[in-house]
Amino acid sequence: MPSRAVPIVLAVVALLIVAASSLFTVQQTQLAIRTQFGEIKGSDYGPGLHLKWPFIDQVARFERRVVTQNYAGETFLTNENRGLLVDFYVKWRVADAAKYFRATGGNEQDAAQRLGDIVKDGIKNAVAQRTLREVVTAERAAVTGEMIGRASTAVDAFGIQLVDVRLQRIDLPDDVAARVYETMKQNFEKQARQLRGEGEKDSQRIKAEADRKRTEILSAAARDALRIRGEGDAVAAATYAKAYDRNPEFYAFYRSLQAYRNAVGRDGDVLVVSPDSEFFKYFKNPSPGNR
pLDDT tens per residue, range 83-104: 788 888 888 888 888 888 888 8
Q: How far apart are CA 122 and CA 288, in angstroms?
A: 121
Does this model's pTM top 0.85? My answer is no
pLDDT at position 194, please? 92
The 3-state DSSP composition of the chain as helix, strand, coil percent (nearest 5) reads 60, 20, 20
- pLDDT given for residue 198 in this prediction: 92
φ, ψ of residue 139 in degrees (nearest 5): -70, 130
Query: What is the spatial distance between Cα 4 and Cα 255, in angstroms, rounded to a whole number?
Result: 167
Q: Comparing C-alpha atoms, which of 170, 172, 158, 161 is closest to residue 90?
A: 161
pLDDT reported for residue 222: 93
- Of the two residues 23 and 199, the one the predictor is more confident about is 199
Mean pLDDT of the chain: 80
Angle (CA) 257-258-259 rounded to 5° is 90
Higher pLDDT, 115 or 167: 115
Lowest mean pLDDT among 93-97, 116-120, 207-211, 246-250: 246-250
29-74 pLDDT tens trace:
888 888 888 788 888 788 888 888 787 888 888 888 898 888 887 8
DSSP string, 68-114: EEEEEEEEEE-TT--EEEEEEEEEEEES-HHHHHHHHTT-HHHHHHH
What does the pLDDT read at residue 217? Answer: 94
